[in-house]
Amino acid sequence: MASNNLLDNILNSIPKTWHDIGLPATPIALLTTFLALLLPLISLYLLALSQREEPPPPPAGCRKLNKSGVSNLADQFLKKYDHGGEPSASNPWRVKALMVYPLKSCTGVELDKAEVRHSGLKYDRQFTFAQQVTSLPTLEGKVESQWTIITLRQVPRLAKVEVEMWIPDPEAPGYENEGEWVKSEGCLVARFPFTPDTDYSVNGMKNYGKILAAKSGGKSEPMVEFRIPFNPTKERMKSKGYRKEPVKIFNDVPIALNVGCEIPEETMAQLKYTLGVSNPLTLFRIDPDGPREVLQNAPKKEDVGFQPAIGMQDAHPVQIQNLAAIHDVSSKVPSKHRPLNALRYRPNIIFTGPPAFAEDNWKMAKFGPLTLDISCRTTRCKLPNVDPLTGVADRNEPGTTMRKYRVIDKGSKLACLGMQVTPLEEGIISVGDEIEVLETGDHYFVE
C-alpha cells in the first residue's frame, strides 16, 4: 500500500500536459500561455526603458577633444613592436600615440596632435582628487589635518572614472563669446559608475530599472556625471566660493584651487562610495598663477631661459615611453598577466622604432619639430600594477618582475621604465612625427 502511495506522489509531481488538465492545445491557448510567461520579462524591459536617462547635452559652445576613429594603440600588442633597431626607411622612429590625463589617475584622452608647452602637454594633469588626512594626536594633543592627493596607487577604482575634455569651438552648438564654458576655456566632463540601492519600494524599483538600462546600454553600472570649468573666470571662482588651499603632492605642498564646490553634495557622496574613500574628498586644480617648479633632474633656468614647472604631474612635464620596452617587460611577467597594456604606465608620448631600453641613455632628442630635454629616468612605484581597464590592482606584477632587472639608475633603488622630459620648445607634436636623438649620456636620479 505504501508503495502505491509513493507511486501516486511521483505521478502527481509530474507536470500536467494540456490533455491532462482537459484543455485543448489550440494555437490561442499556446500563445496566451507564452505571453503569460513572457510578461515578467516584458515588464522588466519596459521598466528599464522608462528609467533610461537621456544624456545631458554637450557643453554649450564646445567640441569634444579626442582622437578620431580607431585608437593608435589598437594594435599595440602585435609582435612587430617586440624589437626595434637603428632608424631606417623600414624602421622609422616615430610617435605612435599621444595621451593627456586632465584628471590625475583617471582615464586619459587620446589625441592625434597635442600642444606642447614648457609645463607639459596642454590639458594634461591639471586636476587631482584629494582626501583630508588627519594625523594622530601628538603628546601635546595637537592634531593636524591636510589635503593629500589620491592616485591609483591607493585607490585603483580611479581607473573607472571616465574623463572627457571639451574645448570652445565657434562652430559648436550654443557658442557665445560670453558663454560660461567658452569663457572658461572649455569644460572637463567626468563620469563614474554608481549602483543605487534597490528594494521593493517605488524608488528601489526605479533604481533597478536604471541598472537594467545601463546593462542594456553596454555599461556594468549606471554612470553619474559632473562637469568642471577648465580654467574658471575670476567671477565664477568668487560666486562659487573657490578656495586656495595647500595640497600635499608627495613631498610638495603647493597652493592650489579647491574646486570641490563645483561637484553637487549628493554626487560627491556617490563618488566617495564608488572610490571607497571614507575621508572628506574634494577636487583640486593647479593654480594657473602658481605652477609647481621642477628643480631636481631638470634643466636649469639659466641654461634654458625658463623655469621648468608642472601642474599635478608627479615630477616632470612629460613622460615618454618606448613600446618595445613595454613588450620586453610583458614577455617576462607570468603568462596570466600578459600582455601588458601601455596605459598601465600613464605615458604622454608612446613611440616605436628604437630597441627596448635604448632611451635609458638619451639626454636630448627631437620629436617632430620640438627639442626635448630628456631629464631623467622614470622610477616606478606600484601604480603600473593597476589594470587601467578594470581598475583592479595586482599585489605583485609587473612590479616584481621589473625589480628583477630594471633597477638600473645608481640614484634610485626603484625599477625604471620610460623617461621624464622637459620640452625646450613649445609647439605642436603629432602622431607620426619622426624622432631624432641629439645627445646621449648617463643619468643619475636625484630624489
DSSP string, 54-111: PPPPPPTTEEEES--SS-TTTTTT-GGGS---S--SSS--EEEEEEE-SBTTS--EEE
16 has a pLDDT exceeding 90: no
The set of cell numbers assigned to 394 is 595586482
Exposed/middle/buried for residue 400 (C-beta within 10 Å: 0-12, 13-18, 19+): middle
The three cell numbers of residue 192 are 563614474
Dihedral of CA atoms 159, 82, 353, 406 in degrees, nearest 10, equals 70
The span from the first CA to the last CA of the chain, in angstroms, equals: 90
Greater model confidence, 287 or 30: 287
* Calpha distance 352→321 (Å, rounded): 9
> How confident is residue 24, by pLDDT bands cut at 50, 70 and 90?
low
Query: Of the ranges 24-38, 135-149, 202-216, 382-396, which is most confident?
Result: 382-396
Nearest-angstrom CA–CA distance, 176 and 157: 37
- ω into residue 339 within 30 of 0, thus cis? yes
**DSSP three-state, residue 153:** coil
Sign, CA dihedral 130-131-136-140, equals positive
Rounded to whole angstroms, the Cα distance separating 36 from 33 reads 5
pLDDT for 134 equals 87
| 279/293 Cα distance (integer angstroms) | 29
With pLDDT > 70 as the criterion, what percentage of the chain qualifies?
Answer: 85
Q: Where do runs of H (alpha helix) occur along 276-374?
A: 301-304, 323-332
- Give the mean model confidence (pLDDT) for residues 102-108: 98
The per-residue pLDDT for 278 is 94
CB environment 252-277: b (16+ within 10 A), e (fewer): eebebbbbbebbeeebbebbbebbeb
Report H helices in 109-256.
180-183, 202-216, 234-240
pLDDT, average across residues 277-288: 96
Asked if pLDDT for residue 44 goes beyond 80, the answer is no
In this predicted structure, the answer to whether residue 292 has a pLDDT above a threshold of 50 is yes
Does the pLDDT of residue 135 top 90, yes or no?
A: no
pLDDT surpasses 80 at 242: yes
Q: Is residue 34's pLDDT more than 80?
A: no
Closest CA to 240 of 281, 161, 180, 175: 180
Per-residue pLDDT of 380-422, as tens digits, reads 999 999 999 999 999 999 999 999 999 999 999 999 999 999 9
- Considering only residues 379 and 206, tell me which one the structure prediction assigns the higher pLDDT: 379
Per-residue pLDDT at 236 exceeds 70? yes
> What interhelical angle do 27-51 and 202-216 show, nearest 10?
90
Cis? peptide before 398, omega within 30° of 0 = yes
pTM: 0.87
| Cell numbers for 221 | 553600472
Q: 14-28, 58-72, 91-105, 398-412: lowest mean pLDDT where?
A: 14-28
Query: Residue 11 pLDDT more than 50?
Result: no
DSSP H or E stretch at residue 43: helix 27-51
Mean pLDDT throughout 308-336?
97
Distances (CA, A) of 405 to 331, 392, 411: 13, 25, 16
pLDDT at 43 over 90: no
Q: Return the higher-pLDDT residue of 20 and 322.
A: 322
Closest CA to 214 of 55, 48, 391: 48
Could you tell me where the beta strands, DSSP code E, fall in 123-254?
127-134, 145-149, 162-168, 187-193, 223-229, 243-248
- DSSP letter assigned to residue 355: P
The reported pLDDT for the residue numbered 202 is 56
Residue in this structure with the C-alpha cell 607639459, named with its chain if needed: 120
pLDDT at 136: 74
**Domains of the chain by range and CATH?**
38-51+59-66+127-133+143-285 (no CATH), 75-124+293-447 (2.40.33.20)
Using DSSP bridges, classify how beta strands 370-379 and 416-423 pair: parallel, antiparallel or unpaired: antiparallel
- Rg, Å, the chain Cα set: 28
Q: Give the three cell numbers for residue 409.
A: 639608475
pLDDT beyond 70 at 203: no
